[in-house]
Amino acid sequence: MRSILLTNKYNGVPLSIVESEVPDGFRLLFLPEQTGDSLLTMIPEADYVLAGGRLKITREVLDRAENLKMIQRSGVGLDALDLDALKAKGIPLYVNQGINSESVAEHALLLILASLRRLPLIDKNTKNGIWKKQEQGVQTAELRGKTVGIIGMGNIARTLVGLLKPFHTNILYHDIARAQAGFEEENNMQFAGITELLQRSDIVTIHCALTAETANLINKDTLGMMKEGAVLINTARGGITDPYAVAEALKNGRLSFAGLDVHASEPIPDDYPLKGLDNVILTPHIGGVTADSFRAMMHDAFRNIECFEQGRLEEIKSYRYL
């Protein structure tokens, strides 16, 4: 019986979904602790790895992976994987590209709207008996007609572009490659350099990968380029934003509000600088996880492993990255 090692920890309903999707002829291996040492101990037993996005799969781990045939990523981010080591060892890596695009894009739109409408503050005040309709209302804003700056134009960002269409926004975007002219025209989009995007956008939403080039991209200097009172959204990777700089920008008014689903350290520490602020929405890296997307991710991931084991490579739904 082939073994599949899960690097993420699942409990309760998520675990029951995982177990219900395991194909016949396979058994699951779980880490006793979510640590690198546990992974080093367990990896020699694994025929396959279902890799989450948090625990690092390093060269040292791969050196001990004596029986490893393939790695299937449950999501899309690659920053937890040593890609050079995987390539050197010839271990195939499959990525569920686009599997949670709808979920993350919807979450980004939710954070945009909730930030513009200052939803956490309005909700808190209403529950506390504060009924200042006009006074609170005029501090909120509509999305219609705003300029939205999108950093990164992958599957999630393209899905978000579609969701934004009914709001008649103006879209600036920055990416390593420019989209086709027809896509730009159809969606009222304009390609821009990062400085221009930050200077002109009412809302900046991040959808790029975490790389050496994008690490700490949103820092004190780049926040200083943004419009006063702008909104910042991040559903990509926490390492792209400096939480201390974001906290300061929220305090001094450079940012009016922020919605962050991802964080430099996860779970967030007790001294996280954004925890005590009223004008920020924090969610626990949940954008890509709904009942719908989670079951789809698990179903496709385990089916891909089954197809790989049986040599039915043409039926694998994931993108082969390596």
Within this chain, domains 2-99+290-320 and 101-282 share the same CATH topology: yes
Q: Which residue type occupies 209?
A: A
Catalytic residue annotation: 237, 266, 285
> Using an 8 Å Cβ cutoff, are 147 and 170 in contact?
yes
Q: What is the pLDDT of residue 269?
A: 96
Parse the chain into domains and list their residue ranges: 2-99+290-320, 101-282
Could you tell me if residue 51 is left (phi over 0), alpha (psi between -120 and 50 degrees) or otherwise beta?
beta
More confident residue, 97 or 8: 8
> Over the stretch 14-41, which tens digit does the pLDDT of each residue have?
999 999 999 999 999 999 999 999 999 9
In 3D space, the residue among 245, 251, 249 whose CA is nearest the CA of residue 227 turns out to be 249
CATH topology of domain 2-99+290-320: Rossmann fold (3.40.50)
Q: Which residue type occupies 293?
A: S
> Over the stretch 285-310, which tens digit does the pLDDT of each residue have?
999 999 999 999 999 999 999 999 99
CATH number assigned to the domain covering 101-282: 3.40.50.720
Residue 97 has pLDDT above 90, yes or no: no
Specify the pTM.
0.91
